[in-house]
Chain A
């Protein structure tokens, strides 16, 4: 599997339900970020979580990071139709000389009204 691989690939839920997306990665990281992308649009930064943090909240979003399992999860509570989008995690490749981000293929979330 690739660094920063999301699971599931697609998720369809009813408005008001919670949505959970997972991300796994392979190498050690400095931080992990979650982004949202509406169809055909740019990236919207959601949350950055550093490697020494375990959980972070922002409004209806909750991100956890487990560095021992090399995984992160994004929870969206009380989902809305406007949350319909693709969600990507991105990890920085902690190799000397470069700080590129490696993105997964994304989870396509559909929230039904």
Chain B
């Protein structure tokens, strides 16, 4: 059973471009979480999604950021018109469905390191 997969692992964008980060949850997991980590800081929650639904986006900036988790395919975190302050590591985590007894255990991917020039 493969773990959480994220791609790309490194992404370089110029200011004003769009960044698309992908996350494939573990097999059987239906919950996805995105976190951002600025240099020398801990991870900060951004958004929590289930298939085709955003459950909690309280940590996501209101502008330029969006996330989706379609019925088929990976979850996408999209950052439009990137700025230098968006440079960070973005981690995705997944967890099993509720009722499985372990729904509140999150398994993290290796992260995508975004650098905005």
Contact = CB atoms under 8 A, between A and B. Distances in A.
B108 A98 contact: no
A88 B42 contact: yes
A33 B48 CA distance: 18
Contacts of B48: 98-100
B59 interface: yes
Interface in B25-69: 31, 33, 35, 41-45, 48, 55-56, 58-59
Nearest to B39: A40
A106 B42 contact: yes
Given A98-B48, A98-B56, A105 B109 contact: no
Contacts of A4: 42
A32 to B, nearest CB: 11
Interface string B62-84: 00000000000000000000000
Majority SS at the chain B contact face: strand
Nearest to A102: B45
Interface residues of B, number: 26
B105 A48 contact: yes
A43 B37 CA distance: 11
Given A43-B91, A88-B42, A99 B103 contact: yes
Given A31-B105, A99-B103, A88 B56 contact: no
Contact of B111 (A42, A97, A99, A103): A42
A33 B106 CA distance: 9
A26 interface: no
B104 A100 contact: no
8 contacts: A4-B42, A30-B104, A31-B104, A43-B91, A45-B108, A92-B104, A98-B56, A100-B45
Interface of A: 4, 30-31, 33, 35, 40-43, 45, 48, 88, 90, 92, 97-106
Given A33-B105, A42-B108, A98-B48, 8 more contacts: A31-B105, A42-B111, A45-B108, A97-B55, A98-B55, A99-B106, A100-B48, A101-B35
